[in-house]
């Protein structure tokens, strides 16, 4: 990270990261989990401590039969306290973990195409510096 404050190239306003700061209201899309999670057949949990509510409780919001895949530096939340028989954890560097899962699922070409499209939109960037949440959100939106 640098000490530079990012500015919008169009309006010169300060660019706010796509995160929720303490005390801020949750976006409407957060509450979609109330209808989405009961229908889920797989849950990825990536790069989190699972310590801050209400996000921390999302890992337990799926049916018990739903496999949960944790890609994280450490075991966290229910993966430590009450893991289920179908929980899977890939521990270590998050970017490497995502790349490994992408490879195993046969999504490598799709991921490379997404990265290529995003590079064309915003200019060249290094995958290691792209915020993971933004990367995954863009990828899963395809």
87 close to 68: Cβ distance less than 8 angstroms: yes
Domain that holds residue 43: 28-103
**Structural domain contains residue 97:** yes
Q: What pLDDT is stored for residue 68 in this prediction?
A: 94
Check which CATH number belongs to the domain holding 83 and give it. 3.40.50.1220
pLDDT tens per residue, range 83-141: 889 999 999 999 999 999 999 999 999 988 988 887 777 655 555 555 554 555 444 44
**Structural domain contains residue 99:** yes
Q: What pLDDT is stored for residue 122 in this prediction?
A: 66
pLDDT tens per residue, range 7-52: 777 777 787 777 777 788 888 888 988 999 999 999 999 999 999 8
Work out the pLDDT band at 81, boundaries 50, 70, 90. confident
Q: Kindly report the number of other CB atoms within 10 A of residue 47's CB atom.
A: 17
The reported pTM is 0.69
**Structural domain contains residue 84:** yes
79 close to 88: Cβ distance less than 8 angstroms: no
**Structural domain contains residue 53:** yes
**Structural domain contains residue 134:** no
When divided into structural domains, the chain yields a total of: 1
């Amino acid at each position: 990270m640098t000490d530079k404050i990012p500015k919008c190239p169009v309006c010169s306003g300060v660019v706010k990261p796509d995160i929720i700061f303490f005390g801020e209201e949750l976006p409407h899309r957060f509450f979609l989990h109330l209808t989405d999670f009961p229908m889920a057949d797989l849950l990825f949990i990536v790069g989190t401590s699972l310590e801050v509510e209400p996000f921390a409780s999302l890992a337990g919001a799926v049916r018990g039969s739903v496999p949960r895949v944790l890609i994280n530096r450490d075991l966290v939340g229910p993966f430590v306290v009450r893991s289920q028989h179908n929980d899977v954890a890939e521990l270590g560097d998050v970017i490497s973990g995502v790349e490994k899962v992408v490879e195993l699922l046969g999504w490598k070409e799709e991921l490379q195409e997404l990265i290529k499209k995003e590079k064309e939109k915003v200019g060249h960037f290094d995958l290691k510096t792209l915020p993971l949440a933004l990367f995954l959100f863009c990828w899963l939106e395809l």
